[in-house]
A and B are shown apart, each in its own frame.
Chain A
Amino acid sequence: MRAAIEFVGDFFYLLLDTLRAIMPALSNGRGRVLAWRNIWMQMNRIGVESIPIVCLVMFCIGAILAMQIAPELARFGIVPVTADVVALATFREMGPLVSAVVMTGFGGAAIAAEIGTMVVGEEIEAMEAMAIDPIRFLVVPRVLAGMVMMVCLTVLGDLAAMFGGLVASALLLHLGALQYVHHALAILKVGDFLTGLVKAGVFGVLITAIACFLGLKVRGGAEGVGLNTSKTVVFTIVALIVVDLIFTSVFFYLGV
């Protein structure tokens, strides 16, 4: 229990240090160019490579949702409402969450393994000895890139899911594409879209910060790297669901 509290405490310290390092990393003269270049590189690595997978997975999720829900709705004779359900479920919940899980597997594990290997190879120590702050140099660009790319991925994922729902509806439920789009657009409010994106941004920070944290905590050679990489995936998914619950409760309470 004590260990768990210490662990979470340490993690929050890392988040605080990261927050503190963001402004200096982006604002002081020479370092700024490097920091932006570094963020750009990380965005490519963490985000761009996840795009096809997120789109594929979300396309399937959209189609699955449509097929699961349609028979129930058909009993009440309201098959077109399928589009409403797919739209709400996707934008508010499935889009951010599923994209985040994909990014955890792609980006999170890669970050933890990379930083863990750097720890083992004395690279982090060397960095400190050169007066280069590893938080500023390694963690900040990854966390910022994670946040931005998670939002982008979610938008793409949302669209892919809607398309998946549309294909399933058209082929299996004989629901017209226009009718589907019309229903979806009518039900969706800006709030649905935005709550999803806020969640996505927080998820992005969570994924990359946990990965950096566990990467930096690696001890004892290659085995330690493997252990903390798999820990990263498990802990991140648990953290995502818990944070999602908190967010949903708050949004529920606020009526957003």
Chain B
Amino acid sequence: MSEPLIQLQGICKSFGDTRIYHDLNLDIFPGETLVIMGGSGSGKSTLLRVLMGQLKIDAGNVLIRGRTLDEMNRGELDSWRKSVGVLFQSGALFNSMTLRENLALPVREHTDLDDETIDLMVQIYLQLVGLREHIDKLPAELSGGMKKRGGLARALMMQPRILFYDEPTAGLDPVSTAQIDELIMNLKNKMGATSVVVTHDMQSAFKLADRLALLFDGKFAAVGSVEEFRTTTNPLVRQFVDGRLEGPFVNPSDQCSYKAQLLGRKINEVPHGQKTT
């Protein structure tokens, strides 16, 4: 296999007392589509922010083509960010700007192309995601799925070779989901882009992925090909893939003792509360 494009080495990160990552390791290779799965609140989306250098980690290294994010200066970090297209969960379109202005912004900021050329590019990319007739609408006038597609078009404007998708299909109807999946597949096949997709939509995950990684309890519990994920006997992966209730996989919120908390409150706090009423 070729040299990894992105390497995560021993990443640790906590927010206050909440531990998000504990010794996280992963290699991402050029041209592959890696799908990262995990429960809600397991730090999937946060991982994309770590990769973009937007969130400081407590320990470990993020290496981009062999260089750590920490040793990069401002210019290097900017050129790394410019080479990546990010689709945010909500689309993250700028609400004060029309779709046209949203798409034009990164190109206007980073290139010397004239306005006509930029406008042509905007129309091409909006056509690609099927939003050309909405070009002069503000994000508030678009549906959730349209915002996501708009966000995708904007992420593509700088013609990135690397794409990060944060839950690209969450909250969309099956047809829109299929459309987005199709777009992602096309981008991969036509542009040879490296993609990192964060999702918990199993159907999309199996359709898109070259490799899958399951994030659990601050680590990657399993990393492997689609075939390996389908046939594995790893109980954690099985539970997640099959969507079963019983198993080692629990929601982070279920981890602390619910009963103890309820009882504790009953003994300590209720009488106190009654006094005040």
Residue of chain A at shortest CB distance from B49? A125
CA distance A105 to B229 in the complex (A): 58
Residue of chain A at shortest CB distance from B55? A125
- A123-B95, A128-B54 known; A30 and B88 CB under 8 Å? no
A132 proximity list for chain B (CB < 8 A): 105-106, 109
Q: Does A186 contact B (CB under 8 A)?
A: no
- A29-B112, A30-B112, A126-B86 known; A131 and B92 CB under 8 Å? no
- A126-B92, A130-B105, A132-B106 known; A30 and B81 CB under 8 Å? no
Contact (Cβ within 8 A) A131 B49: no
Q: Does B108 contact A (CB under 8 A)?
A: yes
A129 proximity list for chain B (CB < 8 A): 52, 54, 81, 84, 86, 88
Q: Does A122 contact B (CB under 8 A)?
A: yes
Residue of chain B at shortest CB distance from A114? B96
Name the distance in Å between A63's Cβ and chain B's nearest Cβ: 39
CA distance A126 to B158 in the complex (A): 14
Residue of chain A at shortest CB distance from B158? A130
Most buried by A among B79, B90, B92: B92
Instruction: Kindly supply a per-residue 1/0 record for chain B positions 95-128, scoring 1 wherever the CB is within 8 Å of any chain A CB and 0 otherwise.
Output: 1100000000110111110000000000000000
A128 proximity list for chain B (CB < 8 A): 52, 54, 81
Q: Does B94 contact A (CB under 8 A)?
A: yes
Contact (Cβ within 8 A) A130 B109: yes
- A129-B84, A130-B82 known; A118 and B94 CB under 8 Å? yes
Q: Does B195 contact A (CB under 8 A)?
A: no
B52 proximity list for chain A (CB < 8 A): 128-129
A125 proximity list for chain B (CB < 8 A): 49, 54, 88, 92
A-B contact pairs, 20 of them (CB 8 A): A29-B112, A30-B108, A30-B111, A34-B108, A118-B95, A122-B89, A123-B94, A125-B92, A126-B92, A126-B94, A126-B151, A128-B54, A129-B52, A129-B84, A130-B105, A131-B79, A131-B82, A131-B110, A132-B105, A137-B109
Q: Does B78 contact A (CB under 8 A)?
A: yes
| Number of chain A residues whose Cβ lies closer than 8 Å to a Cβ of chain B | 19
A117 proximity list for chain B (CB < 8 A): 95
Q: Does A31 contact B (CB under 8 A)?
A: yes
Q: Does A9 contact B (CB under 8 A)?
A: no
Give the bracket for the number of chain B residues in contact with chain A: 20 to 34
Among A12-65, those with CB < 8 Å from B are 29-31, 34
Name the distance in Å between A131's Cβ and chain B's nearest Cβ: 4
Q: Does A176 contact B (CB under 8 A)?
A: no
Among B207-225, those with CB < 8 Å from A are none
Contact (Cβ within 8 A) A121 B92: yes
CA distance A11 to B109 in the complex (A): 27
Among A100-159, those with CB < 8 Å from B are 114, 117-118, 121-123, 125-132, 137
Residue of chain B at shortest CB distance from A130? B106
B112 proximity list for chain A (CB < 8 A): 29-30
CA distance A29 to B112 in the complex (A): 8
CA distance A117 to B105 in the complex (A): 19
Residue of chain B at shortest CB distance from A120? B90
CA distance A121 to B151 in the complex (A): 13
CA distance A139 to B207 in the complex (A): 43
- A30-B112, A129-B52, A131-B110 known; A122 and B81 CB under 8 Å? no
B110 proximity list for chain A (CB < 8 A): 131
CA distance A132 to B74 in the complex (A): 12
Most buried by B among A30, A126, A127, A128: A126
- A129-B54, A131-B79 known; A122 and B108 CB under 8 Å? no
CB-contact partner of B92 in A30, A34, A123, under 8 A: A123
CA distance A125 to B110 in the complex (A): 17
CB-contact partner of A122 in B78, B82, B90, B106, under 8 A: B90
Closest A-B pairs by Cβ, 7 of them: A126-B92, A131-B81, A122-B92, A131-B78, A129-B86, A130-B106, A131-B82
CA distance A132 to B108 in the complex (A): 11
CA distance A130 to B151 in the complex (A): 12
